Structure 1
Amino acid sequence: MAKEAYIITGASKGIGFEWSRQLNAAGHVVIGIARTEPDNWPGGHFLPFDLTRLDAIEEIIAQALNLIPGETETIVLVNNAGTIEPIGLAHTNDATQVSQSIVLNLTAPMLLCGAFIRQLKSNSADKKIVNTSSGAGRKVYEGWSAYCAGKAGLDHFSSCLDAENDDVKVVSVAPGIIDTAMQQTIRQSEAADFPLIDKFLDYKESGLLSSPEETARLLMEMTRRPDFNELPTILDIRNLPQPGKGSLN
């Protein structure tokens, strides 16, 4: 019997890829979604899809759900895809890039969540949504106005969604600062566009970045913990108490 199934966007690299790999190795059903399937995809299903195709999101969720065995006990949607770009002061940013940022970081996850909930309304499985947020949605970063706005919106949307649905647990989790391609993009920024560039260069040089492997393990443990449904909606993976220890408020 398939006990758990995961639909993961942004599954071709970084946290999404590593989380998919670990889940597949543990025997769970994994449906990865990204624009291009990686050559080293670890197994499970993969659906190539561009999340900017907003009018096709209902269909891609339907395709993903059709790959999940009917007796599955827990179904999890992980909205992990996103972009840090454009990096630059708000008044200098290109309109097309700003629009693309909001689509990938906020609009697409909103529509994916809606389709997931709507299509599973009559399904008795335990339903969970994990939205990958960022500390940038909760703190000001000069040069990241579009990214900060998208992630702040994702946090608040997650809170609304969790309040609206008694049968779906929603969390919006900041995973910390991780050594991924996004961090490489940040380190290639110009100081004029991102005044905090030196701090992020130091994170790398000082070995302060978390690995995708460790972060994926923590996220997988969080999603599977027995008190998941009691977790607050807005989370930071670095500040979670151990199950049964400390306060969750």
Structure 2
Amino acid sequence: MRNLVWISGASSGIGAALAAAIPFPDARVIDLSRRGGVVEHFPADLSDPADWVRVEQHFASELAGFEGDRVVFIHNAGTIVPIGPAATVDPEAYTRAVLLNSAAPQVLGRAFLRAAADLNCERHLVMLSSGAATKPYPGWSHYNAGKAAVEQWVRTTGAESNGCRVIAVAPGVVDTAMQHEIRSVDEQAFPAVDRFRELQRTGGLITPEQAARGIWSLLDRPLASGTTLDLRSL
């Protein structure tokens, strides 16, 4: 086994497409998620800080003495729900979303960097971002804040000497279950909903498979660690 790859949230959507499109031979692929998919599964609720500890221990155990060519962690897991003004949404659901979107990427990213610090191979950490990192959408406060936090974390850790290339990528508007969730709400909860309904009507969405191919292609590009980019700009 020459390549070891982790993908969070690989049970569906972009994560599942990433797992199905691994470009490396002899790769072991591990899904970090609650449900699991078609690849090896490490069960974890990434909105639960107790499970972050388990994932960190898992990284450390799997990477101890690793002698392959490449290790990759793509953090894809996130949530758009609850959608609605911060003052009115369900408090418990909002807290879980903040933990998943803002805290988990930083904590799990740090855990991966630490576990891979002494390896003598290619090391890549890829964080999924969004145009929402820079454009505020009323009704998406936890999601907007989470993606902005991811991008600033990537810029900062990418400037540190950790031996790993750290990048963030916004894949564009992808036709996933998350998009269905977005289109199903009303304008009171999410005033920009018509924009996303129009993208579906006019064929403005890309498939998870297209997003996955674009994301994997980044590992072959001469991108500096700390880069944040949008696939639509390539």
Decide: shared fold, TM above 0.5.
Answer: yes
**Alpha-carbon distance between aligned partners in 2 of 1:232 and 1:122, rounded to the nearest angstrom:** 20
**Partner of residue 235 from structure 1, selected from 204, 229, 233:** 229
**Alpha-carbon distance between aligned partners in 2 of 1:33 and 1:206, rounded to the nearest angstrom:** 34
**Alpha-carbon distance between aligned partners in 2 of 1:192 and 1:11, rounded to the nearest angstrom:** 32
Residues 60-108 of structure 1, C-alpha deviations (whole Å, 9 max, x = no match): 2432564568321111111100000121123222322221111111211
Residues 106-135 of structure 1, C-alpha deviations (whole Å, 9 max, x = no match): 211111111111122221222111000110
**Alpha-carbon distance between aligned partners in 1 of 2:170 and 2:227, rounded to the nearest angstrom:** 11
Identity %: 34
Partner of 1:173: 169
SS in 2 for 1:47: strand
**Alpha-carbon distance between aligned partners in 1 of 2:134 and 2:213, rounded to the nearest angstrom:** 24
> Where do 1:83-122 residues align within 5 Å?
83-122=79-118
TM-score, length basis structure 1:
0.87
Alpha-carbon shift at residue 140 of structure 1 (Å): 1.5
**Alpha-carbon distance between aligned partners in 2 of 1:26 and 1:218, rounded to the nearest angstrom:** 18
**Alpha-carbon distance between aligned partners in 1 of 2:60 and 2:13, rounded to the nearest angstrom:** 24
CA contact (8 A) 1:113 1:129 kept: yes
> Where do 1:125-164 residues align within 5 Å?
125-164=121-160
Q: Which runs of 5+ in 2 are unaligned?
A: none
TM-score, length basis structure 2:
0.92
The root-mean-square deviation of aligned C-alpha atoms, in Å, is 1.9
**Alpha-carbon distance between aligned partners in 2 of 1:53 and 1:102, rounded to the nearest angstrom:** 11
**Alpha-carbon distance between aligned partners in 2 of 1:8 and 1:106, rounded to the nearest angstrom:** 17
Whichever residue aligns with residue 232 of structure 2, its letter is: R
Alpha-carbon shift at residue 150 of structure 1 (Å): 0.9
**Alpha-carbon distance between aligned partners in 2 of 1:24 and 1:234, rounded to the nearest angstrom:** 22
Partner of 1:244: none
SS in 2 for 1:8: strand
Q: Which runs of 5+ in 1 are unaligned?
A: 241-249
Of the structure 1 ranges 55-64 and 104-113, higher mean CA displacement relative to structure 2 is found in: 55-64
Alpha-carbon shift at residue 166 of structure 1 (Å): 4.0
SS in 1 for 2:87: helix
Alpha-carbon shift at residue 52 of structure 1 (Å): 2.2
**Alpha-carbon distance between aligned partners in 2 of 1:187 and 1:165, rounded to the nearest angstrom:** 42
Of the structure 1 ranges 67-76 and 172-181, higher mean CA displacement relative to structure 2 is found in: 67-76
Give the direction of change, closer, same or farther, for the CA distance of 1:231–1:51 in structure 2 (3 Å limit).
Answer: closer
Give the direction of change, closer, same or farther, for the CA distance of 1:93–1:165 in structure 2 (3 Å limit).
Answer: farther
Partner of 1:247: none
**Alpha-carbon distance between aligned partners in 2 of 1:138 and 1:226, rounded to the nearest angstrom:** 24
Partner of 2:191: 195
Partner of 1:6: 5
Partner of 2:31: 32
SS in 2 for 1:92: coil
Alpha-carbon shift at residue 185 of structure 1 (Å): 0.3
CA contact (8 A) 2:59 2:112 kept: no
Residues 138-178 of structure 1, C-alpha deviations (whole Å, 9 max, x = no match): 11112111110111111111111112234111111111000
Give the number of aligned pairs: 233
Asked if 1:213 corresponds to 2:209, the answer is yes
Give the direction of change, closer, same or farther, for the CA distance of 1:232–1:123 in structure 2 (3 Å limit).
Answer: closer
Whichever residue aligns with residue 108 of structure 1, its letter is: A
